[in-house]
Amino acid sequence: MAKVEIYSTPTCHYCHIAKEYFKEHNIEYTEHDVSADTDARTEMIEKSGQMGVPVIFINDSIVIGFDQDKIEELLKA
């Protein structure tokens, strides 16, 4: 099973869509709320170079935003 992590904020619309997608497809994920966790925010920026959310890691690959096609491709790999 793929290791899935999502860096998100509570007010991010695309973060909610991504998490709903994972729930609907029974995909376990670890969530990092970068609005409350400054260490997670720093880690996200260092790993991705991004300040916007969601930032999703699937195994060692990164998805910026909710790109369903790329997410599905990485989950099949």
Rg (CA), the chain: 11
Instruction: Supply the pLDDT for residue 4.
Output: 98
**3-state SS class at 8:** strand
| Number of structural domains found in the chain | 1
Kindly report the CATH number assigned to the domain that includes residue 17: 3.40.30.10
- pLDDT tens for each residue of 3-62: 999 999 999 999 999 999 999 999 999 999 999 999 999 999 999 999 999 999 999 999
CA distances from 21 to 8, 11, 18, 51, 72 (A): 14, 17, 5, 22, 10
Domain that holds residue 32: 4-76
